[in-house]
Structure 1
């Protein structure tokens, strides 16, 4: 008989600290990077849309959308400096629809980073074109795969903007010129970048000063705090094509109006007030500095994803369990989620964390390491 999986039950609004199964714990495994999920202004945006449009409109997005959906698409396009935006119920749907639609002939080619998100992998599998995978962040490997592709019907070079298990930012400053050389479209998933990467939080495209015409997908469920929803942003002809032929857009339900209202409020907040981004940067610097001072091995990254490397699968699981006992909620990742020998605890810092949260977490990591060493000796 299979043992049922257990997911802790959260009570109350998500913040830097959350009640899980009746215990107050510092949350280090949340995508709520800017602390907007519990912000009253974002909640009020959801309430206004819910009161106006109800729980759902009962129509496919290709048939009709509400005014709040259209306002969100227009404001996001203006925020990103792009021609057009198409809204989805998730970024996974946006990735699948985009890749399946744009690589729709056997002569098409998708070139994908090996560490790309699972939804990009699934989109590649659904596309009729062939897929070539290059070694993560290895430009020599990528160039070897792109040699001779200029004559293909269509080539897509697809990458995460920020890699969720590494925290690293894709080198779009190198990828864009290579894509131009072979006539490829550059497609960037900004799910872990939107709101938190770049001088004003507009993602990895802004971070590397890439062209606003870059094709981008992303989510409203992480830094924007809206719970779910995704988007495709880019040139109007590309967005219109996916809207007209994308199966993951046409044959599904739209994001609820309440979610669109929350996302719209969040976009306006981060556009007009950079204080949350500044607070997040300060929290990341405080955590990284404290962890390095106590001897931990961290992967370098500019954003809120901080991989703490344990390398050993069993040790990562033990340390994560001890951290939970100490009131710190975080998660260990090991093979096959990450390559063998790279087991880690992925810490996700939020603007909602206080200095005390950060300092308590650093102390707990040190205590967990000491306890683990004592257990093994």
Structure 2
């Protein structure tokens, strides 16, 4: 069965992929460092699969395999935190963390309005109340915190890198504000780990701030492990979630193969910065080329490059032109993004070659000729 809006992929991703029998340049993947098909990462997955099979068939709160404990230790060392708890996804980590920390009617979560859907779901599942502040507006956050007392447990939660904007949360200002409010700070760094910051350790490193109170994230994006998430931070708080987090206790762990892949990926990016350097060179090349096409780009430091179309129909037309030229991208419109901000979200990878990037720029240039008012 084929579906033009839901294609079938064949083979490994390496900057391009076979979709429904046609080789396409992939500009919509989270595989930022090109590790999903790296032989060293795959070897780590195979070793874990040979050692542990597909898993123990037990909840992670009961027993963990050796490779899961190895992964938790590797990630704690990489991030410089006390403790790590592994999940089968970052969505599960966000839901477990927020539901556990805001588990009384007197607790309050203060959340950025652009936060990921899994953070929104975690807020809805928590017994405490949720207040939403305007995106990246710390004055609005302070307004939402008015009336809270030191007796209330308060959690401030934000994406580290906002997935539709590519922008980085201002943790250098947000962290001291949360501390002044007596609030726990939770940062979902799914789009930051591996690619943002001087050595790729995420949005906390990017701003040169002290370690955020709590970080969640995924192994399925820059680390290329296919599946898995984590909560990292002070041991006391991580243990609290381990003991009471429903999305940790009452579910299955990430597969051993994914854990083995993640161990290999962390060691690789810790010891070798060449993929991060290649990624940043690719982003710079793409942005330089796109400046000549006249499309509006949102400015940010990472591999997410939003091309702003503003109009929903225009976004769909441009995406169709790109696919006709062998470029796979996704158009996003309301309700995924606010009205009037339709866009194509381009995601650059270290696996992209100069040919991939130049072909994508040429395809955008052709789309620009078909959309004479695209500069508006």
8 Å CA contact 1:82–1:234 kept in 2: the answer is yes
CA offset at residue 211 of structure 1?
1.8
TM-score by length of 1: 0.97
In structure 2, what is the equivalent of residue 102 of structure 1? 101
How far has the Cα of 1:373 moved from its partner? 4.2
Could you say which residue in structure 1 is the equivalent of 2:248?
Answer: 249
Alpha carbons 2:90, 2:228 under 8 Å: kept: yes
Q: 1:124 to 1:21 in 2, by over 3 A?
A: same
Give the match's secondary structure for 1:128. coil
Q: What's 1:179 paired with? A: 178
Secondary structure, counterpart of 1:310 in structure 2: strand
Q: Deviation of residue 5 (structure 1)?
A: 7.9
Structure 2 residue matching 1:153: 3-state secondary structure: coil
**1:119 aligned partner:** 118
> What's 1:57 paired with?
56
- The equivalent residue for 1:21 is 20
1:6 Cα deviation (Å)? 4.2
Tell me how far apart the structure 2 counterparts of residues 372 and 331 of structure 1 sit (CA, whole Å): 18
- Partner in structure 1 of residue 139 of structure 2: 140
C-alpha displacement at 1:4, in angstroms?
Answer: 7.4
> How do 1:167-316 and structure 2 match up within 5 A?
167-316=166-315
Kept after mapping to 2: 8 A contact 1:213/1:235: no
Deviation at 1:153, TM superposition (A): 2.1
Query: 1:345 is matched with which residue?
Result: 344
Q: Distance in 1 between matches of 2:33 and 2:149?
A: 41
Q: Is the 8 A contact 1:83 1:213 kept in 2?
A: no
Contact map agreement 2:175 2:212 (CA 8 A) in 1: no
Distance in 2 (CA, whole Å) between partners of 1:8 and 1:62 is 37
- Structure-2 residue corresponding to 1:74: 73
Report SS of the residue matched to 1:137: coil
CA distances 1:194-238 after superposition (whole Å, capped 9, x unpaired): 000000000001111222252000000000000110000000000
Q: Name the structure 2 match of 1:9.
A: 8
Q: Distance in 1 between matches of 2:54 and 2:371?
A: 48
- 1:372 deviates by 3.9
Q: Displacement of 1:140 after TM fit?
A: 1.5
Partner of 1:37: 36
Q: Distance in 2 between matches of 1:123 and 1:307?
A: 27
Q: Report if aligned partners of 2:293, 2:364 keep a CA contact under 8 Å in 1.
A: no
Query: Structure 2: which 5+ residue stretches go unaligned?
Result: none
**Counterpart Cα distance in 2 of 1:322 and 1:55:** 42
Structure-2 residue corresponding to 1:84: 83
SS at match of 1:365: helix
Uncovered stretches (5+) of structure 1, i.e. residues with no partner: none
Listed one character per residue, the Cα deviations across residues 122-168 of structure 1 (whole Å, up to 9, x for unaligned) are 00000011000001011221111123324242100000000000000
Q: Number of paired residues?
A: 372
Shift in Å, 1:369: 2.0
Root-mean-square deviation (CA), in Å?
1.3
Deviations 1:34-66 (A, max 9, x none): 000000000000000001100121000000010
Q: d(CA) in 2 for partners of 1:372 and 1:290? A: 18
